Structure 1
Amino acid sequence: MTSPEIPETLDVLRRVFGYDAFRDGQREIIEQVAGGGDALVLMPTGGGKSLCYQIPALVRKGTGVVVSPLIALMHDQVTALRGLGVQAGFLNSTQDLGERQVVEAQLVAGELDLLYLAPERLRLAATIDLLDRSDISLFAIDEAHCVSQWGHDFRPDYLTLSGLHERWPDVPRIALTATATDATRREIAERLQLEQAQHFVASFDRPNIQYRIEPKTDAKRQLLRLLQTEHKGDAGIVYCLSRNSVEKHAAFLTENGIEALPYHAGLDAETRATNQSRFLREDGLVVVATIAFGMGIDKPDVRFVAHLDLPKSVEGYYQETGRAGRDGLPSTAWLAYGLQDVVSLRKMIDSGEGDAAFRRRQATHLDSMLALCETVECRRVHLLNYFGQSAEPCGNCDTCLTPPESWDATVAAQKVLSVIVRLDRERRQKFGAGHIIDILLGKKSAKVIQFDHDSLKPFGVGTELRETEWRGVVRQLLAQGMIAVESNHGTLVQTDASADVLRGDRTVMMRREPERPATKPAKTAKDRKTAPVELSAEAMPIFERLRAWRAATAKEQGVPAYVIFHDATLREIATALPSSLAELGKVNGVGENKLAKYGDQLLTTLNDDTP
């Protein structure tokens, strides 16, 4: 089958979605799939992945079947498409029999452009029979990294998706993910039988996101300061590792005037669904969550993603931070991590389930995450290098804005190792970081006195550094593999690299944190190329009036605000001030269906300057 001419797909982009031009990489992917070819697509969150299968589904004859793990979000995704005039539906466990039968009848009758399915439904014979009786235009496999055991979010149900090609060999397939290393990409291609597919790898750079990582001192207070000083009234996500931490931090934020909702697997299904729905539909809410929350969250105006615990992998970190700023507006990815994070994750890996190879993979992922945290170079350069892409220093991360110093920490490292070695050799004892630092600082704590450790030769030899600085030294020694965590008790032990440091054969360079916090920079030339419409003082009240109209309309329809229009579209309207439907139809994000549905209301709102 020959590839369709670009005017056909471009016409759909303009008429249905309201955009004049494709983003980088979209056109080639869309033409490949619309023409009947297979594709494996790596594109960052917010990069426009969904259009890469939605437009081919509208161009090709039949129904595009989208395999997605996001059952809780399918309703909103379908609602958004219907708002554009696209005939879309879903089949999942949230529907009753009558609702499913209606969608099934629409599918068989050829009345649907797109159908969303969870991967587990493809294990059902009834679903296979339903698809056999239907005209399928393409299969889109979203969140394709879930098929990879090398990835950060492996899901066994995805392993069955190779059967799509075997049963429907002539139906094109497109697999999409927002994050994958070369190893993950190879496994996706192998498991989904996409080795012969055309691979498309877009830039993973998200220039509107400012990456910042800082040592954890008082995580609650650090988070509160960030939200109060930089993100007051903004929607955002705060990630914690444990359910208890989620509850504690959600309550703390709420007590301090920031409305925050908890989300974790320990909550009942109704509470989780309610909290997720409120986050998607209301402005300015914060969700404090475990990583059970967020995959595929299609909320464009998330202004910050904060991590209060160290993520287990760079892929997971990138995926989670990518939920900020999907609309292209400036956003923050902020992480506070400390020594205890490293100790806990090392212990979790060593004592966790899985074979030795699995634990080695987890340790490799963690080492890469630690390297990102401790780098003295541009965070963005380091992050993109992890995914095999090169970049220049961005000028919009903490290490670019307030460059940290490197210092020769060889002597400090030798002092830490000396305490560990003497405890082991002289006393046959092992202790955690806090006790070792007490010895270095000459603190006569109860435990130091109990074990007579004030008599050790290194007692009190480390008073040149403060406790927080010593914790940084220990943290970076762990990150560089010069000490390790014993899995049973979380105590610190030597590694093969320790002897070289103690003998002075190896220099240990470490990162010294800047005294002042990073501040938001002026926009660089690179930023200005991708920057959204800046609002003037005159446009700001108009924008707020449009947002108020959107909020009321969304509430009336029971849908998220972004289903009506994105902030970026409202900003452009507030700046351009269109005076007719024809002028309004030229604004990005205003397609034919939305122009017909909301055009008169928008023009009335623009002309209504009542305070």
Structure 2
Amino acid sequence: MSKLQILKDYFGHNGFRPLQEEVVDAILAKQDVLMILPTGGGKSLCYQLPTLLMEGVTVVVSPLLALMHDQVTALKANDISAAMLSSMQTPEESGHIESQLRAGKIKLLYVAPERLLNPYFLGFLQQLPINFFVIDEAHCVSEWGHEFREHYRGLSLLKERFPHTPIAAFTATATKVVEEDIATNLRLDTPKRVRGSLFRSNLTIQAQHRIKDGREQLLEFLKSYQNDSGIIYTLSRKQTESVAHFLQTKGIEAHAYHAGLSTEEKNRTYKAFVEDRIQIVVATIAFGMGIDKSNIRFVIHLSLPKTLENYYQEIGRAGRDGLDSETLLLFSAQDIIQQKAFIEALPETPYKQHAFDKLDAMIRFSNSESCRHQSIAAYFDDRIELCSDKCDNCTTTEIQRTDITEASRKMLSAIYRTGQNYGLHYLIDVLRGSKEQRVLQNGHDKITVYGIGEEFTRNQWLTVGDKLLELGAVELGEFKVYRLTQFGVEVLKGGHTIEIKKERLSIQKAEPKRKVTFFDDYDVALFDKLRDLRAQIAEENAIPPYIVFSDKTLKDLSAKKPLTKEEMLQVHGIGEVKYDRYGEEFLALLKEQ
């Protein structure tokens, strides 16, 4: 069978996506490979397809049990023999899989790096005909990466123990430094290097300064996604639970996910999410790498991520099916202070300054007025054209600025006149002439700055305070007390002009956007019926709905409305295997319409 026939029959595609065939051919030629391709670019197919044309078994090293489980489930649904070995299995289950491997009945074996370093398991592998190793999420190898894992570092022994077995390493994100570290550490032999463009054409990226806790902005955004799946990232465990509860009070099915929850509860939430039984997961970064759900329509960050690598990987979980999806980053100067405090607490090593540098890059990106996609690509040493209409900066035809020098000087004067001993909210009370007991008791209703800021709302003054923090005109002391810096003194004396984006001072509620999808002319009512049937089949087979058919496949079905097997095989994502398993039920529904 040819690679194109396998591509159609097992994976339901009529042709390869960019760079896929190049990597498939390199693996078939028994070359080492290092592929850097964004999430949703189709990395998995690059190693799942060639093993079907080769003798022996492919061993895939993956960092997360949930990811391995989902991959194995999806492969079995495509009639490809796959298994995983993990600490969650009983000795009997592990023994059965080992027997199948010896008998040559498994084509893809998924294992965690910890198991691969186990002496017994290494000895067992040396008895098997291994065609090649796959290192998934290969950036975990690098100490210069954002998710370094000690066990990944030990994978360098593969070339010692299996010198003639090729290695294919895959990751969605790697700077040039990380790329070199991966190749060196894994001891790749003149690998075929393939680096895809980081531009995700179906992903719209936005970043806004957060107003208060960002909840009004969050609700405004969610108006456009009332029945869609999404992830909301927060900085703390406590915040995941409070935001999830807040959304539940608004009638939105949202669950919290963080490392402090029991394994059972985390697994329950994860399973409900991939099976489309809950709409939103509010999570810390504990919910992340390897989420294999294709129809996530949005990813929101309610605070500043610590690195651009983290951010890019997290937003990459949206739109893996190729349909239009959206991301929103809400941040404030307080996030910057908090992230810097985390880094300050680290031991003095070369990586401490490295962490500061990465945070600075994240801050520059957040405040940037350049194309968001272009900024991300440049960070990863990629060069792309402006996205034109896929980020907030490119869709803003002209950025309007307003002069806040006078307001800044009022704020700085209030800091100075109150002795540099108070936090931002207290300073705003003074500027707005509050009758709060504390202000009166301190006698600050008698100082010259009392009541001189009534022209601004509390939110606008919070924005001014944020801007002064960003510029380094003020710094936070203990207990979040505001203090002047030398630059702040210069501003106070009239030495500098301070400007800000006008939109930051006048928060306007945007009209809900009409969502543009990959298929503009699909039958929405039919799509809903197909989705219901998919849910029923998924439940009967105890698998996530996207493994039956992706949203993209259902939309193509509802647009083309096939009535025969031949017509159905022309639909995106449907090959012989998927048709044999599920095709007749969907055809029956389509014929009823």
2:369 to 376, 379, 385: 376
Tell me the distance in 2 between the aligned counterparts of 1:507 and 1:163: 59
Residue aligning to 1:535: 521
8 Å CA contact retained: 2:117, 2:155: no
For 1:464-503, what aligned pairs fall within 5 Å after superposition? 464-486=455-477, 488-494=478-484, 497-498=487-488, 501=491
1:223 aligns with 2:215: no
Structure 1 residue identity aligned to 2:542: G
Distance in 2 between the 1:494 and 1:181 partners?
Answer: 37
- Aligned partners of 1:363 and 1:493: how far apart in 2? 22
* Structure-1 separation of matches of 2:438 and 2:53: 72
**Aligned counterparts, 1:415-430, within 5 A:** 415-420=410-415, 427=419, 429-430=420-421
CA distance change for structure 1 residues 500 and 31 in 2, over 3 Å: closer, same or farther? Answer: farther
- Cα distance in 1 for residues equivalent to 2:455 and 2:356: 33
| Alignment CA distance shift 1:67-1:474 (3 Å) | same
1:160-214 CA distance string (max 9 Å, x none): 1111122212222122222223333333333333483232221112222222233
| d(CA) in 1 for partners of 2:83, 2:301 | 35
- Residues 381-412 of structure 1: per-residue CA shift (max 9 Å, x gap): 33333323333143133333445423344454
1:511 aligns with 2:501: yes
The answer on 1:75 being equivalent to 2:61 is no
Match of 2:46 in 1: 52
Q: 1:521/1:172 Cα in 2 relative to 1: closer, same or farther (>3 Å)?
A: farther
- Separation in 2, partners of 1:241, 1:450: 36
Separation in 2 of the partners of 1:9 and 1:460?
75
- Which aligned pairs between 1:165-564 and structure 2 lie closer than 5 A? 165-194=159-188, 196-214=190-208, 215-227=210-222, 229-283=223-277, 285-350=279-344, 352-388=345-381, 389-402=383-396, 404-420=399-415, 427=419, 429-443=420-434, 445-453=436-444, 459-460=450-451, 462-486=453-477, 488-494=478-484, 497-498=487-488, 501=491, 507-513=497-503, 515-518=507-510, 532-536=518-522, 539-564=523-548
Determine the C-alpha separation between the residues in 1 that align with 2:388 and 2:446: 51
Q: SS at the partner of 2:144?
A: coil
Normalising to structure 2: TM-score of the pair?
A: 0.91
Query: Structure 1 residues 226 and 482 mapped into 2: Cα distance closer, same or farther (>3 Å)?
Result: same
Question: Which runs of 5 or more residues in structure 1 are unaligned?
Answer: 1-6
Q: Percent identity over the alignment?
A: 39
Name the structure 2 match of 1:31.
25
TM superposition shift of 1:560: 0.1
Q: CA-to-partner distance for each residue in 1:479-524, whole Å, 9 max, x for gaps?
A: 34444434x543344556556655666554433326434557679x
Over the residues paired in the alignment, what is the CA RMSD in angstroms? 2.7
User: What are the residue-to-residue correspondences of 1:587-606 with 2, within 5 Å?
Assistant: 587-606=571-590
Describe how 1:132-171 pairs up with structure 2 within 5 A.
Answer: 132-171=126-165
Q: 1:576 aligns with which of 560, 565, 580?
A: 560
Structure 1: how far apart are the matches of 2:416 and 2:349? Answer: 28
Name the residue aligned to 1:4: none
Distance 2:356 2:521 in 1: 46
Q: State the Cα distance separating 1:448 from its structure 2 match.
A: 4.2
Once the 2 structures are TM-superposed, how far is the Cα of residue 307 of structure 1 from its aligned partner? 1.8
Letter paired with 2:584 = D
Q: Deviations over 1:515-541 (max 9, x none)?
A: 434557679xxx9xxx622334xx223
- Rounded to whole Å, the distance in 2 between the matches of 1:201 and 1:520 is 37
Amino acid at match of 2:221: L
Distance in 1 between residues matched to 2:486 and 2:380, nearest whole Å: 29
What secondary structure, in the 3-state scheme, does the structure 2 residue paired with 1:318 have? helix
Please give the per-residue CA displacement for 1:321-357, whole angstroms capped at 9, x wherever unaligned: 111111111222122223432332233332x233253
Amino acid aligned to 1:316: N
TM-superposed deviation, 1:455: 5.8
Maintained 8 Å contact 2:172/2:313: yes
Amino acid at match of 2:521: L
Q: Return closer, same or farther for 1:235/1:443 CA change in 2, 3 Å cut-off.
A: same
Return the alpha-carbon distance in structure 2 between the equivalents of residues 51 and 482 of structure 1.
51
1:253–1:260 contact (8 Å) kept in structure 2: yes
Aligned to 1:3: none
**CA pair 164-506 structure 1, distance change in 2 beyond 3 A:** farther
Distance between the aligned counterparts of 1:176 and 1:267, measured in 2? Answer: 30
Distance 1:386 1:437, change over 3 A: farther
Q: Distance in 2 between matches of 1:601 and 1:515?
A: 50
2:254/2:280 contact within 8 Å kept = yes
CA contact (8 A) 2:66 2:290 kept: no
